[in-house]
Structure 1
Amino acid sequence: MTLKEGIPRHIQITQWLVEEIEKGVYQPDEKLPSENELAKKFDVSRVTIRRALQSLENEEIIYRCQGLGSFVSDGRKKHNLVKLTDFNEDMKSAGLEASSVVKRFEVITAPKWLAERLNIEANIKVLQVDRLRLGDGEPIAYDTSWLPIFYGQLLSKEALKEKTIYSILEDDYDIEVTKGCYRMSATAADEDLAEQLDVPVNTPLFLIDRISYTIGEKPIYYQKRYYRNDQVMYEMTLERGKNDTSKSESLPLKEFVPVFHSTH
């Protein structure tokens, strides 16, 4: 595409990306070309590309995960979690005893989509860990986690029965988990998930996609967690400051926490 004179370049690039998304060239949750790739395509600076992407993010047409790139939004509103917690911490807050059954602990070759999320080259080996997560012995969630081998080699199947990935890396190896990038959506249980979670096939499930990072914006693992929606929901608390006289509809998010069935 050749940019026209008289119209700001970043606006033209924004319009081109919108058209490509509307035509289905880029599907929801699909990664867009990198800033470098777009800069070369349009022969502009990365600053111009960032302005174009920022406009799309402001309009919630795309979302960005630091260190991984820009992805097409599916149009739903998004909220950031206020506090980063792991499964055991959530269970403790709910007054439930957490435990896990490790269903798979295997080194695999990372497909392209997974490599992009972990910011590694495709076909690199990663550790895949599948776990059934229990609260007081009852199925609560099922998750699959993928870790680069550098971090995966620090885990063991036995340790994961009682401890979380967070606690193993932080407590045993001083590898700090600094933040997580979350996406929440709904899905339906296939035959395998239905069997694991003890629900009928096609039961609605609450899906959380999460990328967890350590210092230096390095992804530690990518995870898909499927919650039974009869066992968990999320509650949100918004707080308006006493001196806030703005008419904006946007309020700061003070608390966003899981609430489990036994605490309803």
Structure 2
Amino acid sequence: MKPKFISISEEIIEKIKMGELQPGDKIPSENELIKSYNVSNTTARKSLLEIESKGWAQRIKGKGTFVLNRTEDHHLLRTLGSIDSTRRGFNESLRAEGFNPKNIVLEKTILQHGISSEISGKHFIMEGPVLKIHQLRYADDVIIKDEVRYICLKLCPKINMMSTEISYFKVYEEKYHHKITDIKQTLSADILEPGASDNNFEVNKQLPVFILDGVVLCQPEKVLEIEKSFYRGDKYKFAIVANPEYNDK
């Protein structure tokens, strides 16, 4: 008969294999395993260590244990419109998947006039002054995202004094106490030519990219953030989660 910690670890690994737990997702904590399986803390701890030792997850001190990215091509899966994913932030998500994140800021400036963007056929306007941040996002030593973010300084004063490596979503909620009411995003595709002025990916061949246009809204229907980013098409996959409401009759 298998030891209990082996049975628990195999059950969780199977959930990872089946896609119930995705790269970057948090594995149940030691306390959660104790409650779910009615086991001792020693058994729960050994279960997590077994999953980690087999290369399916890694522990991040003070955060928890997260599913590693084990796909052969290391595609990163992101879910459109997911508040939980957005809240975690770019750098934290990559670390949870086993990558080493790095940012290079190309531009960080304050625009006195507002900007606008059209998302899903609707026009969104952000009043000035606006913080513009243009940065390249790396996973290990590969540029995987060319990100431009605009943040309303009226709603988030002095956010320009903070590091660009923060999770902006968490800062909006925890420092400025904004309640996020909606995230709207559109995704399109294009081919960037080598040497083109808008190609910052350091590749010498044509590169397929996803173009993400997004807006973050807070109460009362004010535009908090506008984003326009390029994601490497050979490094990313996107998912859409629908939660239909059923009426019980």
* TM-score (ref. length: structure 2): 0.53
2:106 maps to which residue? 103
- Aligned to 1:178, the other structure's residue is in SS state strand
2:82 maps to which residue? 83
Residue 172 (structure 1) aligned with residue 179 (structure 2):
no
Contact 2:182–2:217 under 8 Å retained in 1: yes
Q: Which moved more, 1:170-179 or 1:183-192?
A: 170-179
Mapped to 2, the partners of 1:133 and 1:240 lie a distance apart of 34
- Aligned to 1:150, the other structure's residue is in SS state coil
- Relative to total residues, which structure has the larger helix share, 1 or 2? 1
Contact 1:107–1:126 under 8 Å retained in 2: yes
2:232 maps to which residue? 228
What letter matches 1:172 in structure 2? K
2:75 maps to which residue? none
Instruction: Describe the shift of the 1:138–1:202 C-alpha distance in structure 2 as closer, same or farther (beyond 3 A).
Output: closer
Q: How far is the alpha carbon of 1:104 from its aligned partner?
A: 0.7
What letter matches 1:81 in structure 2? L
- Aligned to 2:104, the other structure's residue is in SS state strand
What letter matches 2:154 in structure 1? F
Contact 2:81–2:184 under 8 Å retained in 1: no
What letter matches 2:109 in structure 1? E
Mapped to 2, the partners of 1:176 and 1:136 lie a distance apart of 33
Instruction: Describe the shift of the 1:111–1:98 C-alpha distance in structure 2 as closer, same or farther (beyond 3 A).
Output: same
1:117 maps to which residue? 124
- Aligned to 1:170, the other structure's residue is in SS state helix
What letter matches 2:137 in structure 1? R
Contact 1:102–1:157 under 8 Å retained in 2: no
Give CA-to-partner distance per residue, 1:63-86, whole Å, 9 cap, x none.
xxxxxxxxxxxxxxxxx9352223
- Aligned to 2:135, the other structure's residue is in SS state strand
Alignment of 1:193-212 (within 5 A): 193-194=198-199, 196-200=200-204, 202-212=206-216
Contact 2:183–2:216 under 8 Å retained in 1: yes
Mapped to 2, the partners of 1:239 and 1:108 lie a distance apart of 38
- Aligned to 1:173, the other structure's residue is in SS state coil
Alignment of 1:110-259 (within 5 A): 110=113, 113-114=116-117, 116-120=123-127, 124-151=128-155, 153-156=157-160, 159-160=163-164, 162-189=165-192, 191-194=196-199, 196-200=200-204, 202-235=206-239
Instruction: Describe the shift of the 1:232–1:157 C-alpha distance in structure 2 as closer, same or farther (beyond 3 A).
Output: farther
Instruction: Describe the shift of the 1:231–1:178 C-alpha distance in structure 2 as closer, same or farther (beyond 3 A).
Output: same
What letter matches 2:100 in structure 1? E
Give CA-to-partner distance per residue, 1:237-257, whole Å, 9 cap, x none.
67999xx9xxxxxxxxxxxxx
Mapped to 1, the partners of 2:205 and 2:144 lie a distance apart of 16
Q: How far is the alpha carbon of 1:203 from its aligned partner?
A: 2.2
Contact 1:104–1:129 under 8 Å retained in 2: yes
Segments of structure 2 that go 5 or more residues without pairing to the other structure are 1-78
What letter matches 2:225 in structure 1? Y
Contact 1:142–1:193 under 8 Å retained in 2: no
Mapped to 1, the partners of 2:81 and 2:185 lie a distance apart of 11
Mapped to 1, the partners of 2:217 and 2:243 lie a distance apart of 28
Percent identity over the alignment?
A: 18
What letter matches 1:108 in structure 2? L
- Relative to total residues, which structure has the larger strand share, 1 or 2? 2
Question: How large is the Cα RMSD of the aligned pairs?
Answer: 3.4
Segments of structure 1 that go 5 or more residues without pairing to the other structure are 1-79, 245-264
How many residues matched? 160
Contact 1:179–1:213 under 8 Å retained in 2: yes
Instruction: Describe the shift of the 1:206–1:139 C-alpha distance in structure 2 as closer, same or farther (beyond 3 A).
Output: same
